[in-house]
Chains A and B, each alone.
Chain A
């Protein structure tokens, strides 16, 4: 077997998710190559070469791959996929955008959001917002898979893979990049943080989210939110945790003013320890919380911050 992993980039740097996808590739077994595609991605390629288990890093460094637009990326992957038995990417917005294009170009199905590898052709994936886990078998000659990072522990970084340039350049006259507004934050990335504290509609407004800052600072936590908080404009969309937002599985998840709708639970119920703070003692979030504290968040949060 030979596996091609599409590296996930964040502002040109290698994103943490890639180390989890390589772990999924190791669970399948076989030779593992990583494709780093973008513009000015040498540093990302070198970082990818250090991931344990990788034999070769293939680098497609060209302006046409800048921002990893779906059309050129799909075409590039379709060129490179021959000879591989599996192509994997993280179930990030880039992986989800690009990989189905490859699958369609190769006339094969795609398996989305894989959380466990049973064998080289059989995988587990959540369906219905994680309320059921399906075991699926693919008989396609090429298996195209997106991997949910929380299902696999990241590989280490003591590797030394060879780095080789890919000279495939495709045309793209259909799509162009206009602009990006990326959230700037010194906090850890939501997907990789050990502690996450999230606020919901109960926070009342965006200003009140500052109540979470001090606690997040003390715990080294990332800050998340429910969809209701995002829809109400309290915080930006990239903070949404849930079925249609980010999937997180930190050691500690603290839900503040969040009721616990199934769509929200789908994004956090694999956390090791869950704490819920809610004034309604019947809120469904308490059914999944290891520790529940019933009360007014506006009194609890300042007290918690001062006592940590």
Chain B
């Protein structure tokens, strides 16, 4: 079974972002970029499926600018066999990304597609679900456990009230939650080897997909700043402040 993993290049999760002075967007100049943490978990899961003998090949795909090839090389260093880069400098929203991924699914016919549950820049949490709808495949979102069993996959999902387990027919789409696994670090020899692994470059036009969206970004602002308050010296002072100053007790 072939496994397809979608990875996204995003701002490193440790970076505190700044809004541009003209409020047109956030300022990403010279900001450290990395693979979306949920996508690292997706790659790790796919590689583990291969190590267990469940998957035969792991293909990583990204939609984004030329620099996004760095994240594909990371995926290859972590154990993916080959990569597909759909190159665009346009703002590709979830729906366009899902349409492109649907074309790749049609071409590659994977048994399982693994995506992150959300990208930490736009926090959309949409792409996997949209891909599932476009390909007519079942979905197991926010997965904390994935078990392939014959022609089915059991997915345990992190839901608001606790955990839910569902069974899906294969092929299926899975999106990863934080506790699915702990991604490994790429070792230097693997990083070297990854440079020689195949990486195909395509464009949205190759797939006949229009990237433009009907959603426009009008403005980006900083949220209302929260000012730090005071330090209290004792439990008594804390209770007194909560009762008499904040009036929340």
Chain A residues engaging chain B, CB cutoff 8 angstroms? 10-11, 67, 69-71, 74, 92-94, 96-105, 107-113, 122, 126-140, 173-183, 191, 195, 219, 227, 230-231, 236-238, 243-244, 246, 251-252, 262-263, 269, 272-275, 281, 286-294, 300, 303-304, 307-308
Partner of A104, one of B121, B129, B218, B226: B129
B residues neighboring A (CB under 8 Å): 11, 13, 16-17, 19, 26, 93-95, 98, 117-118, 120-134, 137-139, 141-142, 144, 154, 157-169, 172, 177-179, 213-223, 226, 228-232, 234-236, 238-239, 241-242, 246, 248-249
**Once the chains bind, are A74 and B158 in contact (CB under 8 Å)?**
no
Which of A112, A128, A238, A272 is the one whose CB lies under 8 Å from B26?
A128
- Bound form: Cα–Cα A136–B51 in Å: 43
Residues in chain B near residue A237, CB distance under 8 A: 144, 158, 162-163, 177, 179
A307 to B237, CA, bound (A): 11
A146, B164: Cα distance in complex, Å: 21
Q: Which residues of B contact A174 (CB under 8 A)?
A: 137-138, 168-169, 172
Chain A residue nearest to B37 in the complex (CB): A244
Within the complex, the shortest CB–CB distance from B28 to chain A, in Å, comes to: 10
Q: Measured between C-beta atoms, what is the minimum distance from B167 to chain A in Å?
A: 5
A92: chain B residues at CB < 8 Å are 160
Most buried by B among A93, A181, A246, A304: A93
Of the A-B pairs whose beta carbons lie under 8 Å apart in the complex, a sample of 5, sorted by A's number, is A179-B164, A272-B246, A281-B231, A291-B229, A293-B232
Judging by beta carbons under 8 Å apart, are A127 and B122 in contact?
Answer: yes
Contact A137 B215 (CB under 8 A): yes
CB neighbours of B131 from chain A (8 A): 104
Instruction: Judge whether B229 and A100 touch: CB under 8 Å.
Output: no
Q: Which residues of the other chain, A, contact B157 by a CB distance below 8 angstroms? A: 93
For the complex, give the distance between the alpha carbons of A194 and B221 in Å: 28
Q: How far is the CA of A28 from the CA of B11 in the complex (A)?
A: 33
Answer whether A175 and B166 are a contact pair too, CB < 8 Å, given A110-B126, A133-B220: yes
Asked if A236 meets B162 with Cβ closer than 8 Å, knowing A132-B221, A273-B242, the reply is: yes
In the bound complex, CA of A93 to CA of B162 (Å): 11
Asked whether A112 lies within 8 Å of B124 as measured between CB atoms, the reply is yes
* Chain B hits for A130, CB < 8 A: 223
Tally of A-B Cβ pairs under 8 angstroms: 253
Contacts of A191 in B (CB 8 A): 160
CB-based contact B235/A303 at 8 Å: yes
Known interface pairs A103-B126, A104-B129, A291-B229; A131-B158 also in contact (CB < 8 Å): no
What is the CB-to-nearest-CB distance from A16 to chain B, in angstroms, rounded to a whole number? 11
- 7 additional A-B pairs beyond A128-B11, A289-B228, beta carbons within 8 Å, are A98-B129, A104-B130, A134-B219, A173-B169, A237-B163, A252-B246, A291-B232
Report the Cα distance A100→B138, complex, angstroms. 13
Given known A-B contacts A131-B16, A288-B226, A97 and B129 have beta carbons under 8 A apart: yes
* B167 engages A182 (CB within 8 Å): no
Write out the residue numbers on chain A whose beta carbons fall within 8 Å of the beta carbon of B229: 274, 289-292
Q: How far is the CA of A66 from the CA of B248 in the complex (A)?
A: 40
Q: Do the beta carbons of B94 and A110 come within 8 Å of each other?
A: yes
What residues of A have a CB within 8 angstroms of the CB of B221 in the complex?
A: 132-133, 135
Residues of B within 8 A of A230 (CB): 179
Q: Is the Cβ of B13 less than 8 Å from the Cβ of A263? A: yes
For A176, the chain B residues whose CB sits under 8 A away are 166-167
Known contacts A128-B121, A133-B221; A93 and B158 CB within 8 A of each other: yes
- A128 and B123 within 8 A (CB): yes
Known: A71-B139, A175-B168, A244-B178. A140 touches B215 (CB 8 A): yes
